[in-house]
């Protein structure tokens, strides 16, 4: 085995392909093979303990398959470009990578996020290039290690304008500089998401191993092109309440339709398939889990968020079929799943199928599952039905003065094994503009931080402000955040909540996945499926 | 021996430590800009035993933190640093002069079996920045009240004089800080006003006018009763810190004679003066003493503009106390003090018993006090008026509150939420212990109520607070 973690990036020549679904053709393939090895036996045994004895513990493989179009875009000839980098036409706003870091506009960003290695080497900056910010990041590292040298740990710095939060995960230091007035706890949770997204691409064991070998390794070599994914994650963190609530947002769907979709997934299986996930408009339609997997652990909302972000952030995935290793950090930070990702409704690309397998060689059999699923959905005209599904309006609840709400139930059947979910209507006037939406989310975030304060948690908050009245309420059965018009009386608000809870009860089969279906793909179910998954 | 065992087991209980002052220092980066000269930046460092290099390192960290935050906003540098073990609060009261207070987080010590050292768990979210930031600002204000500004001292006598003044003041002052009992009242730093009917108020005003007329040396006067303010000629900010000094430091040191009560037969013998009960709390303890010194503490007011240095004369008769402030350039003689004593003593004695009588009548009218279902804190930013039924006593040594510290911290949280916006707001929360806490902000006023009706619902809580506002605050709070 090679003795250095770096310098061993190799890319195989991509072979052009027409249709990856047909067996006699080879799909476009770009393979990045990165290996690291142990230099002494002591280290080797330590590593294998860490990896629960995986046979490929010293190796991680990133593979991408894409359609023939890739060649036309000239992508196929690029050497060693990351599989996770932007390959299609760029979507969304242009990159902030080239910003002038001395300009006022740079300072005025709502939230900066920096990732650096313990040696002070820049790994990621949300705005501005890492090179331009290397001295700033050097200072950050100096502050961290200075406080550390006093047998202490730096947590945060507050000024009238900013909250700076430091957190260290293994050999990585993550820093958030925010003027959003979010709580330290929330900012730290967001940094953990950033760390986990990096882990989802590299695994924690590899990160640890790389820095054990070379303290000042430049991790950007392995993350090249994946800035978009971290950028996307941070945009998601700012704009999507699911991360705040640590819950998954399901697209409301008639339970009969959801059931039939689940059944389709349930029938299209292959050995070592562990999760089948159907997503529409970035919301969950249904998820089917392998029986023995679910016995051991459940899929954490955060892992699903990372997966969704990975898909959403890279338009490369819209190109066709993707086969990529992905680590689900909350499930197991040290091993990979192999994800098959394909959109079912090109060119709109709103309905996405994700199949997770533990077998890295299973591409063709998993692709076959997709074919079956697509076929079954066509027969039932399911895509049309899905296209009609959309978020609901708060007016459907029929409570005047109620402008918006977020509801997270705890009383779902089999709660401890279920994916935590929440429901929320569309944000309508007066919260239709980007700015107002963000303001409402910030109000929710304030309430969330107070009600879930680590040292002084609360049961209920009623907040009358100038432009709205808010109520947050946590019980053993649910967590609820509501927004009313500012002049609502307390009596009205209480009545509204009674009505709202009744409405949710009535609609719960449509709003949530109540009984997540399972399947069995492992011939010899083993109890230790969690550690076997890689 | 067997009998002792259970007791030994109880000896292995958790130990709770309250927040405490780890260090306190003042530095000016301009005084030692070159490498190797870092020590010159340090103007004051507590505790004094800390080794030189350690001091330099700790000051260096603060400088680095401040500089680092300037990367993101040049005009708004760091205010506090949170670490696992402690909390550091920064304040730059005058340009380039930095004050830093390091407070150890509260912690729980959990004993381990088998003679292993105990596990220490730091409670990192217990300290509220705004509270300790206010305590630090108060430290500066108190220093300035008795010493003037840092830069004036530096201009007058260089670094040496400044260091000398800082050491003299803070060595003693820091011992009076009781960080474990700091709370929302420190954020307000308000003034308690004595409620009074118009007639009595006019009597006091005319008394002040008469005295100022007769004793033309008197520049400012302040009148207090029962540790509460009635009249003040000082600027609000100066009165605020003087009030703090009087009520938490000077008065508590002189309470003993009053404890005997007005009608006590012991009283005349105690004071030795049959004409009146007046006496000096600052300056001469006994006018008849031939060796009496006529030295009064000096205070600095209006430091922003006219920068006045004054003698502080505090004179008290029964529960009434008057501060007379005289230009420090004038030497105060025995004659002046005797004149003041004979003029003010009898009048103030009379006035004090008038106020006392009036106060008792008012109390009787309002009926016997029922144990109320609520406790509250009120603060008005416009006149700094403060009222608390939560705090039973605030002295130099300790501030006693009648509610659980966690509830006090919830008040602090609500206050921080109010500070974010200028608009009128109301926040009602239900704590895990089922206590209800209500915060209301209207115009420049803030009211915090803690209700002990655990089974009440939101609507009942609202009704209760409405009643309180109607009876206590003439419906100032009109939201909802």
CB B125 within 8 A of CB B19: no
* Token pair belonging to B129: 């920045």
Q: What is the rounded CA–CA span in Å between residue A112 and residue A180?
A: 10
Q: Tell me which residue of A60, A354, A95, A332 sits closest to A226, measured CA to CA.
A: A95
Same domain, A124 and A198: yes
Helices A434-451 and A227-239, axial angle in degrees (round to 10): 80
Which residue, of B182, B217, B245, is where some domain finishes? B182
Q: What is the pLDDT of residues A348-386, one digit of tens each?
A: 888 999 999 999 999 999 999 999 999 999 999 999 999
Instruction: Please report the number of interchain residue pairs, chain A to chain B, with beta-carbon separation below 8 angstroms.
Output: 139
Q: How many CB atoms lie within 10 A of CB A216?
A: 10
Band of residue A450 on the pLDDT scale cut at 50, 70, 90: very high
* Token pair belonging to A314: 């890279």
Which residue, of A180, A212, A239, is where some domain finishes? A239
Same domain, B293 and B398: no
Chain B positions touching A155 (Cβ under 8 A) are 82-84, 124
Same domain, A326 and A453: no
Predicted local distance difference test score (pLDDT) of residue A79:
31
Q: What is the CATH number of the domain that holds B112?
A: 3.30.450.70
CB A207 within 8 A of CB A170: yes
Same domain, B172 and B207: no
B269 part of a folded domain: no
Q: What is the CATH number of the domain that holds B403?
A: 3.30.450
Q: What is the pLDDT of residues A178-192, one digit of tens each?
A: 999 899 999 999 999
Per DSSP, the three-state class of B241 is: helix
A505 part of a folded domain: yes
Q: What is the pLDDT of residues A260-297, one digit of tens each?
A: 999 999 999 999 999 999 999 889 999 998 887 656 66
Same domain, B227 and B168: no
A9 part of a folded domain: no
- Is the pTM here over 0.90, yes or no? no
B155 part of a folded domain: yes
List C-alpha distances in Å: A190 to A116, A174, A481: 16, 10, 20
Same domain, B202 and B156: no
Q: What was the ipTM of the complex prediction?
A: 0.90
* Token pair belonging to B447: 């009211």
Q: How many CB atoms lie within 10 A of CB B89?
A: 25
- Cα A217 to chain centroid, rounded: 26
Band of residue B246 on the pLDDT scale cut at 50, 70, 90: very high
> How much is the average pLDDT of B150-168?
96
A527 interfaces chain B, CB cutoff of 8 Å: no
Residue B364 has pLDDT above 90, yes or no: no
Predicted local distance difference test score (pLDDT) of residue B253:
86
Measure in Å the smallest separation between the Cα of A154 and chain B Cα atoms. 4
A27 part of a folded domain: yes
Residue B251 has pLDDT above 80, yes or no: yes
Contact assignment for B427 to A461 by CB distance below 8 Å? yes
Predicted local distance difference test score (pLDDT) of residue B358:
87
Predicted local distance difference test score (pLDDT) of residue A416:
62
Chain A positions touching B426 (Cβ under 8 A) are 462-464
Among the ranges given (A251-265, A519-533, B93-107, B380-394), the one the predictor scored with the smallest mean pLDDT? A519-533
Same domain, A140 and A234: yes
Same domain, A127 and A218: yes
Residue B395 has pLDDT above 70, yes or no: no
Q: What is the rounded CA–CA span in Å between residue A54 and residue A333?
A: 13
Which residue, of A215, A239, A263, is where some domain finishes? A239
Which residue, of A194, A211, A239, is where some domain finishes? A239
A530 part of a folded domain: no
Q: Using CB atoms, which residue from A161, A460, A494 is nearest to B429?
A: A460
Same domain, A45 and A193: yes
CB B376 within 8 A of CB B468: yes
Contact assignment for A161 to B431 by CB distance below 8 Å? no
Q: How many CB atoms lie within 10 A of CB A527?
A: 10
Same domain, A179 and A316: no
Q: What is the rounded CA–CA span in Å between residue B363 and residue A121?
A: 71
Q: Tell me which residue of A244, A232, A387 sits closest to A317, measured CA to CA.
A: A232
CB B90 within 8 A of CB B80: yes
Q: What is the CATH number of the domain that holds A381?
A: 3.30.450.30
B421 part of a folded domain: yes
Q: Which helix (H) or strand (E) holds A507?
A: helix A490-511
Residue A448 has pLDDT above 50, yes or no: yes
Q: Using CB atoms, which residue from B85, B425, B431 is nearest to A458?
A: B431
* Token pair belonging to A348: 């709109």
Measure in Å the smallest separation between the Cα of B430 and chain A Cα atoms. 5
Q: Which residue has the higher pLDDT, B10 or B49?
A: B49
Q: What is the pLDDT of residues B82-114, one digit of tens each?
A: 999 999 999 999 999 999 999 999 999 998 887
B192 part of a folded domain: no
A301 part of a folded domain: yes
Same domain, B46 and B155: yes
Chain B positions touching A459 (Cβ under 8 A) are 429-432, 434
Q: What is the pLDDT of residues B288-338, one digit of tens each?
A: 888 888 999 999 999 999 999 999 999 999 999 999 999 999 999 999 999
Residue A530 has pLDDT above 60, yes or no: no
Chain A positions touching B79 (Cβ under 8 A) are 158-160
List C-alpha distances in Å: B30 to B34, B96, B147: 9, 7, 22
User: Exposed, middle or buried by CB within 10 Å (0-12, 13-18, 19+), for A97?
Assistant: middle
Predicted local distance difference test score (pLDDT) of residue B474:
72
Q: What's the structural domain count of chain A?
A: 3
Predicted local distance difference test score (pLDDT) of residue A526:
47
* Residue in chain B lying closest to A183 (CA): B125
Q: Tell me which residue of A184, A188, A143 sits closest to A167, measured CA to CA.
A: A188
Cite the beta strand spans of B157-302 per DSSP E: 218-225, 228-232, 279-280, 298-301
Same domain, B154 and B59: yes
Q: What is the rounded CA–CA span in Å between residue B23 and residue B136?
A: 12
* Most confident listed range (A519-528, B237-246, B471-480): B237-246
Predicted local distance difference test score (pLDDT) of residue B476:
67
Q: What is the rounded CA–CA span in Å between residue A357 and residue A370?
A: 13
Q: What is the pLDDT of residues B180-208, one digit of tens each?
A: 889 999 999 999 999 888 899 999 999 99
Q: What is the pLDDT of residues A53-112, one digit of tens each?
A: 333 332 233 333 332 222 233 333 233 333 444 333 344 445 678 889 988 999 999 999
Q: Which residue has the higher pLDDT, A80 or A215?
A: A215
Q: Give the range of the structural domain holding residue B469, as residue numbers without chain letter.
A: 374-473
Predicted local distance difference test score (pLDDT) of residue A498:
96
Predicted local distance difference test score (pLDDT) of residue B359:
86
> How much is the average pLDDT of A445-460?
96
Same domain, B213 and B360: yes
Per DSSP, the three-state class of B324 is: strand
Q: Which residue has the higher pLDDT, B268 or A473?
A: A473
Predicted local distance difference test score (pLDDT) of residue B452:
86
Residue B461 has pLDDT above 50, yes or no: yes
Same domain, A162 and A26: yes
Q: Which residue has the higher pLDDT, B126 or A26?
A: B126
* Token pair belonging to B189: 């730093």
Measure in Å the smallest separation between the Cα of A329 and chain B Cα atoms. 26
> How much is the average pLDDT of B385-410?
77
Chain B positions touching A466 (Cβ under 8 A) are 421, 423-425
Band of residue B362 on the pLDDT scale cut at 50, 70, 90: confident
Per DSSP, the three-state class of A157 is: strand
Q: How many CB atoms lie within 10 A of CB A400?
A: 12
Q: What is the rounded CA–CA span in Å between residue A315 and residue A324?
A: 14
Q: How many CB atoms lie within 10 A of CB A28?
A: 23
* Residue in chain B lying closest to A107 (CA): B72
A343 part of a folded domain: yes
Q: Is the peptide bond before A227 cis (omega within 30 degrees of 0)?
A: no
Residue B433 has pLDDT above 90, yes or no: yes
Predicted local distance difference test score (pLDDT) of residue A412:
74
* Residue in chain B lying closest to A105 (CA): B72
Predicted local distance difference test score (pLDDT) of residue A80:
32
Same domain, B319 and B453: no
Residue A20 has pLDDT above 90, yes or no: no
Contact assignment for A153 to B432 by CB distance below 8 Å? no
Predicted local distance difference test score (pLDDT) of residue A36:
31
> How much is the average pLDDT of B44-48?
95
Q: Tell me which residue of A342, A369, A356, A373 sits closest to A264, measured CA to CA.
A: A373
Q: Tell me which residue of A286, A250, A518, A270 sits closest to A370, measured CA to CA.
A: A270
* Residue in chain A lying closest to B410 (CA): A456
Contact assignment for A154 to B425 by CB distance below 8 Å? no
Predicted local distance difference test score (pLDDT) of residue A53:
33
Same domain, B356 and B313: yes
Predicted local distance difference test score (pLDDT) of residue A83:
40
Predicted local distance difference test score (pLDDT) of residue A29:
28
Per DSSP, the three-state class of A18 is: coil
Same domain, B338 and B468: no
A39 interfaces chain B, CB cutoff of 8 Å: no
Predicted local distance difference test score (pLDDT) of residue A94:
52
Beta-carbon contacts of residue A222 (< 8 Å; ≥ 6 apart):
A34, A201, A202, A210
Band of residue B363 on the pLDDT scale cut at 50, 70, 90: confident
Q: What is the rounded CA–CA span in Å between residue A233 and residue A84?
A: 14
Percentage of chain B beyond pLDDT 70 is 89
Q: Using CB atoms, which residue from A153, A457, A490 is nearest to B84?
A: A153
HSE (side-chain half, CA atoms, 13 Å) at A388: 7
Which residue, of B133, B157, B182, is where some domain finishes? B182
Q: Using CB atoms, which residue from A158, A177, A459 is nearest to B129?
A: A158
A57 part of a folded domain: yes
Q: What is the CATH number of the domain that holds A401?
A: 3.30.450
Q: Which helix (H) or strand (E) holds B336?
A: helix B334-365
Q: Give the range of the structural domain holding residue A312, as residue numbers without chain letter.
A: 248-389
End-to-end CA distance of chain B: 67
Same domain, A438 and A380: no
Chain B positions touching A450 (Cβ under 8 A) are 413, 417, 429
Q: What's the structural domain count of chain B?
A: 3
Predicted local distance difference test score (pLDDT) of residue A25:
33
Band of residue B133 on the pLDDT scale cut at 50, 70, 90: very high
Contact assignment for A460 to B430 by CB distance below 8 Å? yes
Q: What is the pLDDT of residues A380-429, one digit of tens each?
A: 999 999 999 889 999 999 998 999 999 999 887 765 667 899 999 999 99
> How much is the average pLDDT of A248-270?
94
A497 interfaces chain B, CB cutoff of 8 Å: no
Q: Tell me which residue of A429, A286, A425, A290 sits closest to A358, measured CA to CA.
A: A290
Q: What is the rounded CA–CA span in Å between residue A75 and residue A93?
A: 21
A462 part of a folded domain: yes
Same domain, B329 and B378: no
Q: What is the CATH number of the domain that holds B305?
A: 3.30.450.30
CB B112 within 8 A of CB B129: no
Same domain, A42 and A186: yes
Residue B390 has pLDDT above 60, yes or no: yes
Among the ranges given (A56-60, A510-514, B232-236, B459-463), the one the predictor scored with the smallest mean pLDDT? A56-60
A136 interfaces chain B, CB cutoff of 8 Å: yes
Q: Which of B71, B121, B430 to mutate to test the interface with A (most CBs of A within 10 A)?
A: B71
Phi/psi class of residue A251: alpha, beta or left (left: φ > 0; alpha: ψ in -120 to 50)?
A: beta
Same domain, B178 and B311: no
Contact assignment for B479 to A454 by CB distance below 8 Å? no
Q: What angle do CA B289, B291, B296 make, to 5 degrees?
A: 95
Contact assignment for A458 to B430 by CB distance below 8 Å? yes
Same domain, A189 and A44: yes
Q: Tell me which residue of A528, A525, A45, A524 sits closest to A332, measured CA to CA.
A: A528
Chain B positions touching A463 (Cβ under 8 A) are 417, 425-428
CA dihedral B200, B203, B205, B208 (to 10 degrees): -130
Same domain, A277 and A408: no
Q: What angle do CA B277, B278, B284 make, to 5 degrees?
A: 130
Same domain, A452 and A488: yes
CB B108 within 8 A of CB B92: no
* Residue in chain B lying closest to A178 (CA): B72
Contact assignment for B83 to A446 by CB distance below 8 Å? no
Which residue, of B366, B401, B424, is where some domain finishes? B366
Q: Using CB atoms, which residue from B71, B406, B462 is nearest to A490?
A: B462
B188 part of a folded domain: no
Residue B216 has pLDDT above 50, yes or no: yes
B69 part of a folded domain: yes
Chain B positions touching A143 (Cβ under 8 A) are 61, 64-65, 68
Q: What is the mean pLDDT of chain A?
A: 81
* Token pair belonging to A10: 């190799």
Q: Which residue has the higher pLDDT, B419 or B398?
A: B419
Place of tokens 């001292």: B153
B191 part of a folded domain: no
Helices assigned H by DSSP within B102-149: 129-147
Chain B positions touching A446 (Cβ under 8 A) are 417
Name residues 455-474 of chain A within 8 A of B (Cβ): 455-466
Contact assignment for B423 to A465 by CB distance below 8 Å? yes
Residue B4 has pLDDT above 50, yes or no: no
Q: What is the mean pLDDT of chain B?
A: 88
Give A518's DSSP letter: E
B4 part of a folded domain: no
Measure in Å the smallest separation between the Cα of A438 and chain B Cα atoms. 17
Predicted local distance difference test score (pLDDT) of residue B400:
64
Chain B positions touching A144 (Cβ under 8 A) are none
Band of residue B9 on the pLDDT scale cut at 50, 70, 90: very low
């Amino acid at each position: 085995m090679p003795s250095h973690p770096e310098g061993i990036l190799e890319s195989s020549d991509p072979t052009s392909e027409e249709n990856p679904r047909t067996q006699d053709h080879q799909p476009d393939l770009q393979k990045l093979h990165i290996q690291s090895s142990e230099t002494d036996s002591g280290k080797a045994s330590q590593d294998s303990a860490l990896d629960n004895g995986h046979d490929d513990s010293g190796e991680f493989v990133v593979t991408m398959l894409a359609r023939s179009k890739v060649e036309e875009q000239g992508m196929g000839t690029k050497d060693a470009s990351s599989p996770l980098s932007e390959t299609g036409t760029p979507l969304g706003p242009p990159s902030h990578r080239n910003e002038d870091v001395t300009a006022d506009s740079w300072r005025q960003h709502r939230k900066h996020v920096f990732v650096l290695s313990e040696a002070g080497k820049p790994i990621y900056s949300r705005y501005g290039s890492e090179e331009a910010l290397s001295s700033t990041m050097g200072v950050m590292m100096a502050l961290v290690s200075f406080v550390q040298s006093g047998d202490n740990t730096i947590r945060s710095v507050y000024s009238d304008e900013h909250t700076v939060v430091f957190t260290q995960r293994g050999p990585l230091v993550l820093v958030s500089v925010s003027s959003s007035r979010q709580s330290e706890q929330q900012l730290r949770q967001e940094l953990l998401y950033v760390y986990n997204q990096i882990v989802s691409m590299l695994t924690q064991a590899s990160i640890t191993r790389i820095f054990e070998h070379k303290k000042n390794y430049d991790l950007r070599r392995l993350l090249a092109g994946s800035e978009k994914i971290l950028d996307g994650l941070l945009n998601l963190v700012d704009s999507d309440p699911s991360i705040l609530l640590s819950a998954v947002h399901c697209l409301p769907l008639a339970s009969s339709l959801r059931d039939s979709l689940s059944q389709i997934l349930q029938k299209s299986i292959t050995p070592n398939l562990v999760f089948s996930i159907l997503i529409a408009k970035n919301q969950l339609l249904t998820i089917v889990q392998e029986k023995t997997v679910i016995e051991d652990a459940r899929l954490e909302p955060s892992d699903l968020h990372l997966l969704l972000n990975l898909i959403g952030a890279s338009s490369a995935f819209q190109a066709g079929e993707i086969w990529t290793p992905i680590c689900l950090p909350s499930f197991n930070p040290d091993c990979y799943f192999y994800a098959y990702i394909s959109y079912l409704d090109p060119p709109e690309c709103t309905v996405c199928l994700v199949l997770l397998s533990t077998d890295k060689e299973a591409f063709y059999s998993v692709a076959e599952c997709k074919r079956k699923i697509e076929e079954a959905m066509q027969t039932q005209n399911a895509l049309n039905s899905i296209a009609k599904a959309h978020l609901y309006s708060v007016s459907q609840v029929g409570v005047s003065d109620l402008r918006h709400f977020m509801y997270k139930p705890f009383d779902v059947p089999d709660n401890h094994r279920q994916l935590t979910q929440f429901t929320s209507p569309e944000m309508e006037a007066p919260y239709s503009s980007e700015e107002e939406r963000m303001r409402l989310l910030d109000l929710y975030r304030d309430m969330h931080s107070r009600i879930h304060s680590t040292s002084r948690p609360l049961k209920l908050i009623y907040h009358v402000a100038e432009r709205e009245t808010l109520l947050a309420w946590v019980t053993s059965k649910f967590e609820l955040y509501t927004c009313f018009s500012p002049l609502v009386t307390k009596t009205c608000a209480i009545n509204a909540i009674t009505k709202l809870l009744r409405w949710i009860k009535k609609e719960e089969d449509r709003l949530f996945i109540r009984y997540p279906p399972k399947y069995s793909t492992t011939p010899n179910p083993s109890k230790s499926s969690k550690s076997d998954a890689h | 021996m067997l009998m002792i065992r259970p007791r030994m087991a109880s000896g292995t209980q958790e130990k709770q430590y309250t927040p405490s002052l780890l260090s306190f220092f003042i530095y000016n980066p301009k005084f030692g800009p070159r490498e190797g000269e870092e020590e010159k930046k340090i103007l004051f460092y507590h505790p004094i035993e800390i080794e030189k290099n350690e001091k330099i390192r700790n000051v260096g960290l603060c400088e680095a933190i401040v500089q680092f935050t300037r990367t993101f906003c040049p005009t708004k540098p760091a205010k506090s640093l949170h670490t696992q073990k402690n909390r550091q609060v920064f304040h730059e009261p005058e340009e380039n002069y930095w004050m830093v207070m390091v407070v150890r987080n509260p912690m729980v010590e959990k004993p381990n079996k088998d003679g292993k050292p105990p596990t220490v768990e730091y409670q990192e979210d217990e300290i509220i920045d705004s509270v300790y930031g206010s305590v630090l600002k108060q430290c500066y204000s108190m220093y300035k009240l008795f010493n003037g500004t840092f830069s004036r001292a530096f201009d007058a006598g260089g670094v040496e004089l400044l260091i000398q003044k800082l050491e003299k003041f803070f060595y003693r002052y820091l011992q009076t800080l009781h960080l474990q009992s700091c709370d929302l009242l420190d954020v307000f730093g308000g003034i308690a006003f004595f409620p009074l009917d118009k007639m009595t108020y006019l009597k006091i005003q005319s008394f002040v006018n008469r005295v100022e007329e007769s004793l033309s040396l008197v520049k400012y006067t302040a009148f207090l009763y029962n540790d509460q303010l009635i009249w003040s000629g000082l600027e609000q900010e100066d009165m605020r810190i003087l009030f703090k000094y009087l009520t938490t430091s000077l008065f508590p040191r002189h309470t003993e004679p009053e404890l005997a009560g007005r009608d006590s037969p012991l009283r005349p013998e105690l004071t030795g003066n049959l004409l009146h009960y007046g006496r000096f709390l600052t300056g001469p303890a006994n006018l008849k003493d031939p060796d009496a010194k006529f030295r009064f503490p000096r205070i600095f007011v209006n430091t922003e503009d006219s920068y006045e240095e004054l003698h502080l004369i505090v004179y008290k008769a029964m529960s009434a106390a008057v501060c007379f402030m005289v230009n420090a350039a004038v030497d105060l003689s025995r004659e002046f003090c005797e004149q003041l004593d004979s003029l003010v003593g009898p009048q103030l004695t009379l006035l004090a018993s008038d106020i006392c009588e009036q106060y008792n009548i008012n109390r009787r009218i309002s009926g016997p006090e029922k144990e109320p279902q609520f406790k509250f804190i009120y603060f008005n930013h416009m006149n700094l008026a403060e009222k608390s039924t939560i705090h039973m006593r605030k002295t130099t040594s300790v501030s006693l509150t009648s509610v659980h510290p966690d509830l006090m911290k919830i008040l602090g949280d609500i206050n921080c939420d109010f500070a974010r916006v200028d608009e009128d707001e109301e926040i009602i929360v239900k704590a895990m212990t089922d206590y209800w806490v209500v915060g209301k902000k209207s115009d420049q006023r803030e009211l915090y109520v803690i209700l002990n009706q655990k089974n009440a619902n939101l609507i009942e809580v609202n009704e209760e607070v409405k009643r309180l506002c109607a009876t206590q605050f003439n419906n100032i709070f009109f939201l909802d």
